[in-house]
Amino acid sequence: MFKTLLLPAVVLSVFVSGCMEPTARPLQPKQPSSEQALNTSASFIKSSTDVPDEYEIDEPNGVLTLRQALALTLMKNPVLKAYSLETRAADARALQAGLRPNPELGIEVEDVGGSGALSGFDSAQTTIQLSQLIELGDKRQKRKTVALLEKDLSGWDYETRRLKVLTEAGKSFIELLAVQERTKLLAELVDVSEQTFKSVTQRVEAGKDSPVEKTKASVALSGVKIEYEQALQELEKTKKVLASFWGIEQPKFSVAQGQLNAISDIPEMNDLQQKLISNPELARWEKEIARDKAALKLENSKAVPDITIGAGVRRFNETDDNAFVFGVSIPLPISDRNQGGRMEAAYNLSKAYEEQRAARIEVTNRFNQIFTELSVSFNKIQELRTSILPGAREVFDASREAYAEGKIDYLNVLDAQRTYFVSQTEYLDALVSYHKAKTDMEGLVGQSIDVIQTTAN
């Protein structure tokens, strides 16, 4: 029923080109209208509320891959569980909408408890009657159609929420990789600063430099150590943020595994834009409009009054006789012909068309913004890789050698060191921006960018 057969695979394929290690394959929440693949290699995923024990995935104690993180999110995320249960509630509403009205059994006793001959039950008349409401205007089928379309909408809403949650979980994993790299970078900076401090100390003790240089080196080292301790705290916090996606407060895993350096060429803008049709935020509006059209038909049918027919037996105690009774009742649509309900349904349909248009504009604007972020970060990575980083490293190494030989002062070394590590930080930030933008883009177009690029070529 859903057109987005690749939607659940979107976020999981973010790092296929190198930013993840495939390990575990989870089961996907079962939808009322479709069962889709988590990625191109996993063929089925059932609901986290229906997963048998043998398919349960536990958080690893050591290394955590992106695939494992998304599997845990898919199976244990509280928000997704709630949406999964909502789809089942929509199933139940569809079932209820298709049921016919129940017949009514009535018992009526007349001519009792009066005066004279009517004081007892000797003159009583007892009627037992069975009546049935008959819905005209095909109301039951129209009501059932509305409920089935609402069930489909519930499935689309689940797809939208699932995609958003998986996208955010993927971006949280990227952020954790980045924090790990920043921590490693600061650890390297601490090591370099300690070596520089030793070198400065030796030169000061040898009388080649002023003691002020040693103080400067000591202050710089202390500052770097403080940054490193802050990075360690940030690392623990980021781990907890990621683990919260599968509903736990204290993560068991120790390290996230992935390659931030892995990037790939960006497809042409038109190639990506053509895939927006698979975005559930847009695709759902076909069902939304169909539901509102069906609701309008249902409200129109309510202008047709229903009839109630009944039949039964009447007992006359006084004469010891029996007789059949029949009856038909129908409301007269004099003042209430469901005018308000019909107008409301018509306005809701018009509103749905406008909301569909607004959704297209919003998704297109988001697409343009993400594509710009993706392109800018990709170009920045290329520039940093080819010229800035190698040049900054070369200057840093040369300045350390020159300082050891007494050709330059410590401030020049410190400046070169700062320039190099700032460049490293910019490079890391560019990688994070690239992968997050790539994740967002794949969430929009419903496909892996790498697959789109390969197909286009």
Return the CATH number at 18: 1.20.1600.10
Structural domain containing residue 418: 7-100+135-303+338-456
Residue where a domain terminates, one of 283, 317, 337 = 337
Mean pLDDT lowest for which of 6-20, 109-123, 228-242? Answer: 6-20
pLDDT of residue 324: 95
Whether residues 111 and 222 share a domain: the answer is no
Condensed to tens digits (0 to 9), the pLDDT of residues 37-74 reads: 223 222 222 333 334 444 567 888 889 999 999 999 99
Same domain, 189 and 328: no
The pLDDT score that the predictor gives to residue 456 is: 61
Percent of the chain at pLDDT > 70 equals: 86
The mean-pLDDT minimum among 49-58, 283-292, 334-343 falls in 49-58
Residue 337: the pLDDT is 93
How much of the chain exceeds pLDDT 90, in percent? 57
Q: Are strands 125-134 and 104-110 parallel, antiparallel or unpaired?
A: antiparallel
Is 373 among the domain residues?
A: yes
Residue 311 lies in a domain: yes
> So what's the pLDDT on residue 310?
96
**According to the model, what pLDDT value does residue 378 have?**
96
How much is the CA Rg of the chain, to the nearest whole Å?
A: 36
- Among residues 288, 312, 337, which one ends one of the domains? 337
236 and 153, same domain (yes or no): yes
Asked which of 279, 314, 337 is the last residue of a domain, the reply is 337
pLDDT of residue 407: 78
Q: Which amino acid is at 228?
A: Y
Q: pTM, whole model, 2 decimals?
A: 0.78
**Residue 230, in any domain of the structure:** yes
- Please indicate, yes or no, whether residues 272 and 128 belong to a single structural domain of this protein: no
Largest CA distance in the chain: 136
The answer to the question of residue 143 being in a domain is yes
134 phi and psi angles, rounded to 5 deg? -110, 115
Task: Give me the pLDDT at residue 44, please.
Answer: 23
Say if residue 450 is in the same domain as residue 409.
Answer: yes
Q: For residue 449, which of 261, 267, 259, 262 has the smallest C-alpha distance?
A: 267
Domain-embedded: residue 447: yes
Together in a domain, 275 and 322: no
Q: What is the number of structural domains in the chain? A: 2
**Do residues 266 and 369 both lie within one domain?**
yes
DSSP secondary structure of 52-83 = -GGG--PPPSSEEEHHHHHHHHHHH-HHHHHH
Asked, for residue 211, whether it belongs to a domain, the answer is yes
Closest C-alpha among 359, 357, 358, 349 to residue 281? 359
Hey, CA dihedral for 445, 450, 451, 457, is it positive or negative? positive
Q: Residue 384: enclosing H or E segment and its boundaries?
A: none
Instruction: Tell me which of 160 and 122 has the higher pLDDT.
Output: 160
At 394 the pLDDT is 84
Tens of pLDDT along 106-128?
Answer: 999 988 867 766 677 778 899 99
Specify if 2 maps to a domain: no
pLDDT average, residue stretch 3-31? 36
Q: Is the pLDDT of residue 411 over 80?
A: no
Q: What is the dihedral of CA 434, 437, 438, 442, to 10 degrees?
A: 180
The confidence score (pLDDT) of residue 52 equals 41
Same domain, 206 and 121: no
The runs of H, that is alpha helices, within 384-448 are 389-404, 410-445
- In whole angstroms, what separates CA 198 from the centre of its chain? 52
Answer whether residue 1 shows pLDDT above 50. no
Statement to judge: residues 252 and 342 lie in one domain: yes
Return mean pLDDT, the chain: 84
Residues 234 and 278 grouped into a single domain:
yes
Same domain, 41 and 172: yes
| Confidence class for position 445, pLDDT limits 50, 70, 90 | confident
Average pLDDT over every residue of 121-144:
92
Across 237-258, average pLDDT: 93
Residue 429 has pLDDT above 80, yes or no: yes
Alpha helices in 98-210 (DSSP H): 139-205
CATH of the domain at 320: 2.20.200
Is 268 within 8 Å of 456 (Cβ atoms)? yes
Give the total residue count for the chain: 457
129 shares its domain with 139: no
At 5 the pLDDT is 31
pLDDT, tens digit, for every residue of 360-404?
Answer: 999 999 999 999 999 999 999 999 998 898 888 888 788 878 877
Burial of 237 (0-12, 13-18, 19+ CB in 10 A): exposed
Strand partners, 322: 315
Tell me phi and psi for residue 315, to 5 degrees. Answer: -110, 130
Q: Which residue has the tokens 């037992």?
A: 128
User: Coil, strand, or helix at residue 282?
Assistant: helix
Say if 1 falls within a structural domain.
no
Give the tokens for residue 106.
Answer: 């009535």
